[in-house]
Copies of this chain bind each other. A is one copy, B any other.
Amino acid sequence: MALLSSDEQNETAVTMDSMVAGVHFLPDDPPDLVARKLVRVNLSDLAAKGAKPFAVMLAAAFPVGTELAWIRRFADGLGEDLAYFDVALIGGDTVSTPGPLTLSLTAFGRIAKGRTVLRSGAHPGDRIWLSGTLGDGALGLMAARGQLGDLGDGHIAFLADRYRLPRPRVSLGAALPGVASAGMDVSDGLVQDLGHICRASGVAATVEAATVPLSAAAQAALAADHSLLATILTGGDDYELLFTAPAAATPAIEEWGRRVGEAVTAIGVITEGQGVTVRDQVGHPISLGQGGWRHFSASGKGAEA
């Protein structure tokens, strides 16, 4: 059991995410990276709400017969990331399981009262912003599985690393309260998660595909196979910040990104209506079905269903 102190000025944001071996990470992923991914996935969620992470609790179900050396490396990775992000492990539970390694982390963040960035505050005219680059996580899973073909080892290693080790945008997230009108982190894919914001806010979104920031590795993958655009836009595992803000906030957002050294890019606008539209370079809507995403055609050019 742990105690969270409290005061009149702040609230505590809490999030809880689970990972199962073979479902959310590869069973032979290095143990230290498994632990660090677990931490980072949860910190990403807090960052997107504008909360500063300060503590976690870990529930771990280790398979019967897990070697002590494995658990040590797991604990080392956990400790390393907790130290890096200045977050305390305040409790949890460890059990054994006849099944696969199953992890749940509860993460706590501090935020000034009433300043939490919700999904429901986006307004027509707001710009849509994305941190970092998109698609590296989903392409990285393909890379780790040997499904990406020959992009050169540097790109493959970059993408696989991005799948195994998300970069939660904690510093960027700290600037969101008072600036962002709505936000969340991209875990299920840009289109799906932007759809969540639109539904919660009662608005529509238009994304310009050409402005979506891509890593050099993702660009190389896309050049080799244009149908991967669908993977990039909907594949998930990005753990980037997705938020909306009034146009007037643009200089402040760009300045903050420069200050913390993290890329942040305007990728579209909020409009009246409902649903998410992704447009190609000539302004044609591409591949959005009613209520969700339809897989791109092989040409990378789809149509609204």
Contacts and interface: CB of A to CB of B under 8 A. Distances in A.
Interface of A: 1-8, 10-20, 22-24, 45-46, 49, 57-61, 90-93, 95-100, 102, 104, 106, 108, 111, 113, 116
Contacts of A12: 3-4, 6, 12
Given A57-B106, A99-B97, A11 B16 contact: no
Contacts of A5: 11, 113
A39 to B, nearest CB: 15
15 contacts: A3-B12, A3-B14, A4-B11, A4-B12, A6-B10, A14-B108, A15-B91, A16-B57, A17-B59, A20-B99, A23-B95, A57-B106, A93-B104, A97-B99, A97-B102
B4 A46 contact: no
Q: Which are the 4 A-B pairs with shortest beta-carbon distances?
A: A99-B99, A6-B6, A59-B104, A104-B104
A89 to B, nearest CB: 11
A108 B116 CA distance: 20
Contact of A61 (B20, B49, B60, B92): B20
B13 A2 contact: yes
Contact of A100 (B45, B59, B99): B99
A137 to B, nearest CB: 17
A106 B61 CA distance: 15
A22 B97 CA distance: 8
B18 A59 contact: yes
Given A20-B61, A97-B102, A100-B98, A6 B11 contact: yes
Contact of A14 (B19, B23, B57): B57
A83 to B, nearest CB: 21
Nearest to A101: B99
Contacts of A58: 16
A60 B104 CA distance: 9
A17, A22, A102: residue with the most chain B Cβ atoms closer than 10 Å: A102
A7 to B, nearest CB: 6
